[in-house]
Structure 1
Amino acid sequence: MTASSPLSPLPPLNTDTIWGILNDTIDDATVNAIVWHCLGYQFNSTTNLWDSSAVAPEWREAYPEPPNFIESRPATVKLTRSIPAENKQLLKERLGFKGYQVNELVPRKTRRATIANWLLSYMQQ
């Protein structure tokens, strides 16, 4: 699957946006686009291609085009592993996020929580 360009401006990277990701009020395409932007992926509307020249080599080599983090377990695992140990609990520590109910534990929601935690870590660095 090829990632597509975000159609609208991205929301600001702040705690309201992080809560929007956790509460599923921000759509999957926008959530992916936020992470892509933070990783350095840029869509060139002239060529209709992704430019990954600003992406860290370990991401660019694994994902020449930005991955769909909501659908891709390997991409989300890579995100998880890239969060520094001291930032692994930021959802709980900074936002007081208590996690999802057992009946809500589906891959899509847990990947959104991973993305939210990664973004908090990104904001902190």
Structure 2
Amino acid sequence: MKVLVVEDDMDIQDLVVTLLTRDGHTVVAEAEGWDGLAAALAQAPDLVVLDWMMPGMSGVDVCRALRADARTKDVPVLMLTSKAQEADIDQAFTAGADDYMVKPFRGRELVSRVRALATR
């Protein structure tokens, strides 16, 4: 499965890429919202792991754009963010996120959630 990781914190990006690669996924990574959206539209990932707070375009805005485009409207999106307030979670799901994880996160849980989203 091809997973697109859009995360501006390089330590977290490297960790997520490593975890998902070890689990057998092909992983593409971008560090900014605009670049992540462009990659999603060009590369047709099977799933997107998306940070919220990034330079250029927020993860929530990327999620909305993915849902609005016929090419990516059905691609599962996992928001992985430090925003933990109930209103933030509601906003992410309203934007079209399929799942939501708060940083810091456990690696096994991330892999399990990616697997679950992949089988839907």
More strand by share: 2
More helix by share: 1
Instruction: Report which of the two structures shows the higher radius of gyration computed on alpha carbons.
Output: 1
**What is the TM-score normalised by the length of structure 2?**
0.29
**What is the TM-score normalised by the length of structure 1?**
0.28
Higher RCO (CA < 8 A, seq sep 6+): 1
